[in-house]
Every structure is written in structure tokens, then in C-alpha cells.
Chains A and B, each alone.
Chain A
Amino acid sequence: MKSKIKIYGFFVISYVFLLISCNPKIDNPIGTGKLGTLFPEGQAITYVAIGNSLTAGYTDGALFEDAQQYSFPNLLAQQLKAENFVQPIFSNPGSGTRMFLHGFLSDGTPDIEQTLNPLLSAANYNYSRPFSNLGIPGAIAYDLIDTSNFMNRTIERQNPFYAAILRSSILGKSVLEQAISLNPNLITMWIGNNDVLGFATSGGTISTTGMPDNPIPTPVLTIQQIIGSALQTITQKLPNTKVFLFTIPNVLRTPFFNVIPWNGLVLTNQNQVDALNAAYQKAGFKFKLGQNGFVAESPSSPGKLKQLTQDDYVTLICPQDSLKSGWGSITPIPNQYVLDASEAKMVTDAVNDYNQVIKQFELFFPDKVFVIDMNAILNLMFTNGYSLPGSSSLTTQYISGEMFGLDGIHPSSKGYGVIANEIIKYINNKFNADIPLVNVQNLPAIRVTPTILPSRIKQ
């Protein structure tokens, strides 16, 4: 009798013990992968991405394998379960002017090293079909339809990516031809950024390739013709294909134009103030103790000099040690590091014009072309930040904002995750689909490479 009770007691204990552990019960699952009205259920997705560095997954000044895996097209392809999505692979450290953050100096300045890596070939150069990611860093809108020799273009523009990504004209004579030959039913197209970017980052000193040397960004009419004809071709040859076209983010919102303040000339000594006031008396520039607008070259200003105001921008690539040793006061900041107010207006106007044109294509090609307003998302990030569940909000602050990589223009891997998610949100909303979002929290933000590279030891 007693031993029975004992056994029974232990039996109850062990039975209950095994019982308890719980699994989620989900009434209304989200992220089921349902395609809604995007495509008939069960239809395979063949996805091709067309564009420039933003499509390629360029970050930290280069295109490299570690970051390419988080290009927005690759993330999108994974979430959509697209078939055979192949990117050109640029093995680490990649191709371009790769920037490495070694850490921060004791004064808080980021310790960034730039290394030139003129890698000319993708690791999977011999892949027998066109790449699904046809984002070519540096590509302008015209490159979409340009059928000139890829190698010649690479040499002329000192840009390895035409030859490295497009490779052979047998695969298709232009980006567009190669894209169409893959017979995709889904295309993302994000082009036109470089048509204004080159002008902007050069402080308004360089025209877009092929444009008269005024200098100017690509005229909006040209953009309209190129994108229009590309969309015409796609919709004719691939009548069941959906094209997602993105607006151009206003590059002036990126850290590249917002790290070095226009009024970063800090004067602590009255003698300096008096000397500068005397030196620039004719020009009418005023200096006081504390923060002052830098003095910079400005071809459109009287005397070709200008004291910067809040409407002017100093670019991130302006050498900071030069600023510390006197640039911007007695020695003006050279023109190529400053986008003055009139140049900045040209940039903003061009972006606005491009975007107006881009938005209209949705009307010209109903149910075939869909426009996602990436510029609006960047603006939101600039003004309010982009909140991420369980993590800090992404902003356009350099480094600490996490959205942009070290070059200050291209998104970080986390930033590309946000772009992928905005596309997915658009698709889910528009087509009543239920594609799972990327867990952006799990993507790297700012890569830190504490190791000193061999090239540095020499210095």
C-alpha cells in the first residue's frame, strides 16, 4: 500500500513535468508569403533589379560581398522566394574606394581609412546568364539603353562595373536587353540618382556624363525620354510583368551634405576676428567670436567668394585636417567641396522634376508600372527618424543614425533592409499580399574594422 502511493506520487510528478512547455497559437498569422493579387498563387517569381549603386548594394564606398548579400534586391528576392536570383559577387574587400572605420580618435573623430580596390571582375564572372541584379554603380539613366561596348565604357569612365557586371554583349547589348532576356515577371527600376549626384557631390563642378560642361545635372526631359522608352520596351516585350519604379531621394538629405556644418568656423580669439573682418571688409563678410560661416570659392558670387549661409553645404569629402589648419577663413574652401545655395537649388529642382516625371509613368502604364516614393521615406527619416521595433530609430545622422554607411551617401546594410521593407509594405498594401518583412534589426549597421590594415602600417 505504502509503496504504491510512493510510486503513484512520483508518477504524477513526472507526468505533469513532461506536460508543461508551450507553443504559440496564432489566430491571424502575418507574413504567410501569400502573394495576393500580385501574381496568381503558385506562379514562380522571376525578379530582375535594374539600377545603379543603390540597387547593387554599394556601401562604405565600395561594392563587396559582405554587404552585397544585404542589397535590397537580394533581401527582396529572399522574402519573395524569387527563383534563381543571382548577383555578381565582388569578393571582399570588394571593388571601389572601400572605407574602413577603425574606431574613433580621442577627440571623437571617426578614424576612417580609404583603400582603393580596383577589382575588375566578379567572382562568378563566368555565370552563363545575365545577372539578376543589374545595378551598376555609377550608372546614369542613359546606361539603361546604351548599347556601346561595355569594356570601352569602363575605360572611358574609369568605372570597372560596366565590364564586370554586363560582361559580354552576347548576354544582351544593354542593361535593358539583358534584363528582358531573363524574362522576369517582376522588375525594380531605380535610375536617375547619378544624373544629379555627380553634379552635387562635386560641389556643382561636374556635369553628368554626356552633358554640356556648364556644369549641369541631366535635364529632366532626357530622363523622361530614357525611362519612358525603357518602360515602353519592357511593357511591350513582357506584357505580364510588373515594374516597380522608385523616386529619387534628395541627396541633400544624406549625411554627405550634413556632417560638416556651414558655420563650422569657430573663432575663440578677438585678434583673429579683427583680422578676418579687416581682410574681408571689401566682400562684406562679418566675423565674431564663436561660430561663423566658412569662406568658400563660389563662381556665381561677386568676387567669386562667398561666406556660407544655412542654404550652403560643405561636402563630407572636404579634408578635415585642412579645415582645422585654416581652410574656410583666410584660405577659402575650394569650390569642389562646397555646394552653394544656387547649386543646391539646381539639385533640389532636378530631383523634384525627375520625381514628378517618374510619378507620371504610373499613369502612362496603368497596372504595369507602380511608383514607390523612396524620396518621401528619406524625408521622413531626415525629419522624424524611422522607428524600428525593439531598436533605436534610424536617422540621417552620420554613423550614429545607422541608416547610411561610411561614405555618407549609400545606405548601410540596415538601410537597405528598410528599403526592401518599404517595397514589401507597398506590395502587401497594393496587392493584398502578405509577404514577410525583413528583420532589419538583424542586419549590420556601421561596420567596425579595428585591425590596422597593412597599408596603414607603412605610413
Chain B
Amino acid sequence: MRKIPTVLLAFFLSIAFVYGGGFQINDHSGRSVGMAFSVVANPTDASGIAFNPAAMTNLDGEYNFSLGASYIMPGAKFTGITTMNQQNTTEMNTWNFIIPHFFGTWKTPINNLNFGLGVFVPFGLGTEWPDNWVGRFLASKTYLETIEINPNIAYKFEIAQIPISLSIGYGFAIGNVELKQNISTFSPEPILTLKGDGTASTFNFGLLVEPMKNLKIGASYRNNIKINYDGNTSYENIAGLESIFQESTGKTTINFPNDFRLGVAYIFSDNFSIEAGMNYMGWSSYDTLKIDIAKAPGNPPTEYISATPRNYKDAITYRIGGEYLFDNFAIRAGFYYDPLAVSASNVEPVLPESNRYCFSVGFGYKPYKDLKLDLGYLGIIGSQTNVIGNPNQFDGIYNTWANVVSLTLSYKIQ
């Protein structure tokens, strides 16, 4: 009998971790969510470590802690396949995420030297489509999370009477990845699951300059996180087919992009400030996806190594956010625009992508002098993405949106 491998292997080529703005997670505090993450120059609690650790020098307590979580509710619909017809619209399964965050800062006994620690999730993604949906040979379920443990030190000094803060940090990243897809050849359809995990180290810098009393300029750089995942493949629905579909080890690498941020905050009065900024994401790190499966499906199973070009490009996000303070209340609002980091034709159901318009509102409350509660809401509206000329011919229309609610409790020890 002839070998089976060609077609069974072809689907591995389609394993396509598409990622872009859609799985960067910024939702690291209630306040930052409320201000559309325009908190690079003027973060006022410990969660600033995620956005610009240099700014922790401006926190007034000896210790500051922030603890909270964001509830992320993404949604997407796919219409098509448009090369065939547009009679079918599939909505992604509801899958919401609670993403926790913790930050702490400490004014050390050494003058002007601050220490801060952040534990947060800079990248994460989960998509799940209904069982029998038309794109299940590309993706039925995808899950990805990267947790970063990020200690920083920040030092404040003056040059020509201009206060300047600098920070340097180390990041230890722990990553998990899971991908599920169906295999078309047999009925019932076998389901492949790839799971892997890995760790990586990275570093980051921060800078805060305060040239005038009311003006703050912040900049922050986070280096890319390159995680080598070790994992395995497993299968469901393979009764009788065990000799073709064998569990195996597998390897892949994902290079999460570097992240450069700039923010300019103007404090109009004691209770009103606005920050505008931008975010340069080096998505071009994701030029190729390499996968190595020791025993890929086939007759007999053999090693399979693929390198799939992904063609991502760097992208710039623009943000603006403001805050108005009352006695012990604050209200906030913001907006940002997050463009697609890949040409529309390369958008895949692993991660429905779009140009995204994001509106935020937020609310702060201080029940006691040193305790602060921040609630933020972010609404993300994706412009419709029309995919034409997809490499997998999976042309169609994606509509995407997301709702995010973030709640953070911050406490200060004087």
C-alpha cells in the first residue's frame, strides 16, 4: 500500500500562529484600562511597572502594592468562505478570561533608588470555534499565555535641575501554548492537539523626564521574549488509526515582539491631566514559524520540520487618555487606535485580527487615605477585515470586538 503522508502532513503547514495586536495584553490595572493605557509618563500607582518602571520613583509611599484582575470578553464572527458563498456566519464560542496582575514597589534605604516587582501577563490569547465550523482544519481551539515576572530598579537624579528617572529590569517569562485542529481525511475527524511550554529571559528599560512642573515625558522599552516551547502532540477520535497518528514530542519557537512606548503627560491642574502617546510593536519578529514534530502523522510516522513564512510587520498604536480627580473620586476616559500588524490576506481563524478602535472609561475611588480602588472598562471595536487571497484560501469576512473590565486594589504604606 502506498504511504499516506503527503496530505496528512500538509495540514501541519497550515498550523499558523497568527498573532498581532490581538494577543498583546495591556490590561494590567483598572486605572490604565480607564485611560486607554496612556500611562507611560504619569502612572500613579505600582501598576506603572508594566508601562514604565522608571516612573515608580514618583510614587509617594514607602511601599505600594496593586493587586487586581481584568476580565476579557473577546468575540468574533467569520462569514464565508467568500470564495464559495457568504451564507454562513460562524460566531466564535464565548470564552472569557480572568487575567490577574500584581505589582509592588519599595523605596529602598539607598537614596533615590527604588525597587519594583511586577507579575503580569503581557501576551495571551484564547480562541475557540464551534465543533463543526468550516475552518476547523485550520483552528478549532488555540490558547497561548505568557506570564512575566519582572523585577526592576529605578533611580532618580537631576540634570540641570530637570528630574530624570531611569530604570532597568529583568523579565522571566513562562509560556504555555495549546493548539487544536481537526484532520480532514477521516470521518469521524481525528483531532490534533499540540501542547507546549517553555521559559525565556528578557530585559527592559524605562525613562522619565520632567522638564517642567506640569510636563512629563516617559519612554519604555521591553525587549522581545523568545520562547522555545517543548511539547507533545496527541490525538482524539483515532480508534483504529493509532498506527498513523502516534503521540510524539514537538518543538516550536515563538518570538514575541519588542515593545517601545512613548508618552507625554500634561498636568493642567491639580485635578486634571491628559497623556498622549504611542506604542511601537516589533511584530516583524514573527517572520517565520518553525515547527518540528518528531513523529508526524503518516504511514509510517516520520519527523516533520516546517518553516512557514508569516509576513508580520511592525505596527504603531496611538493613544490618548485623561483623568479628572474629585475629592476621593476619579473619572477617566481614553481612546487608542491599534492597526493590523499583518496584511489582511494573512489573517487566519487562529486569531481573528482587525484594525481596532478602542474606547475606555474608568472610575476611581479612595475609601481610605491609602487605599484606592480602580475600575476600568475598555470597548474594542474591530473594523471589518475582508480577507482576500489567503494562503490557505480561507477567504472571508471577520468581525471582531472585545469588552474588558479591569479592577485593581492599590494600597500604600507611608
Contacts and interface: CB of A to CB of B under 8 A. Distances in A.
A and B interact physically: yes
Interface of A: 2, 5-6, 9-10, 12-13, 16-17, 19-26, 29-31, 101-106, 108-111, 259, 320, 387-393, 395, 397-402, 413-414, 421, 436-437, 439, 441-442, 444-450
Nearest to B132: A442
Contacts of B138: 390
A5 B397 contact: no
B184 A17 contact: no
Nearest to A398: B2
A411 to B, nearest CB: 14
A22 B77 contact: yes
B11 interface: yes
B187 interface: yes
The 9 closest A-B pairs by CB, nearest first: A103-B240, A31-B85, A444-B187, A450-B239, A450-B240, A436-B85, A390-B394, A389-B393, A22-B399
Interface in B85-106: 85-89
B326 A391 contact: no
A24 B81 contact: no
Interface stretch (B146-154, B272-280, B378-386): B378-386
A447 B137 CA distance: 17
Interface in B219-263: 239-244
B84 A448 contact: no
Contacts of B67: none
B6 interface: yes
B348 to A, nearest CB: 9
Nearest to A399: B4
Say what secondary structure dominates the interface of chain B: loop
A47 to B, nearest CB: 19
B400 to A, nearest CB: 7
A10 B243 contact: no
A413 B184 CA distance: 12
8 contacts: A13-B363, A17-B405, A30-B85, A110-B1, A398-B2, A400-B6, A441-B134, A447-B187
Contact of A109 (B1, B77, B135): B1
B6 A20 contact: no
A393 B397 CA distance: 22
Contact of B186 (A106, A109, A446): A446
Contacts of B377: 13, 16-17
A259 B1 contact: yes
Contact of A23 (B77, B82, B83, B88): B77
B359 A16 contact: yes
Contacts of B402: 20
B7 A9 contact: no
Interface in B1-53: 1-8, 10-11, 14
A390 B81 contact: yes
B185 interface: yes
B7 A17 contact: no
B101 to A, nearest CB: 20
Contacts, number: 177
Contact of B381 (A20, A398, A449): A20
Contacts of A22: 75, 77, 381-382, 384, 399-401
B202 interface: no
Say what secondary structure dominates the interface of chain A: loop
B7 A392 contact: yes
Nearest to B363: A9
A398 B7 CA distance: 11
Given A103-B239, A106-B243, A448-B239, A400 B401 contact: no
Given A392-B184, A444-B187, 15 more contacts: A2-B326, A9-B363, A20-B380, A20-B403, A22-B401, A24-B384, A30-B84, A108-B4, A389-B392, A390-B392, A399-B4, A400-B8, A402-B7, A436-B84, A447-B186
Nearest to A440: B84
Contacts of A445: 184-187
B320 interface: no
A99 to B, nearest CB: 14
A397 to B, nearest CB: 7
A9 B399 contact: no
A413 B185 CA distance: 12
Given A31-B84, A259-B1, A400 B399 contact: no
A143 to B, nearest CB: 32
Contacts of A24: 77, 79, 86, 89, 384, 397, 399
A390 B394 CA distance: 5
A5 B185 CA distance: 60
Given A108-B299, A399-B4, A400-B4, A20 B379 contact: yes
Contacts of A320: 1
| Most chain A beta-carbon neighbours within 10 Å: one of B241, B242, B365, B402 | B241
Nearest to B237: A448
B281 interface: no
Given A24-B77, A101-B240, A448-B239, A439 B134 contact: yes
Contacts of A450: 239-240
Contact of A436 (B5, B8, B87, B399): B87
B157 interface: no
Contacts of A31: 84-87
Contacts of B75: 21-22
B401 A29 contact: no
B208 interface: no
A97 B399 CA distance: 48
B79 A26 contact: yes
Interface string B140-166: 000000000000000000000000000
Given A13-B361, A387-B393, A390-B81, A103 B242 contact: yes
Nearest to B397: A24
Contacts of A21: 75, 401
A387 B184 CA distance: 13
Contacts of B291: none
Nearest to B240: A103
Contacts of B300: 108
Contacts of A9: 331, 361, 363
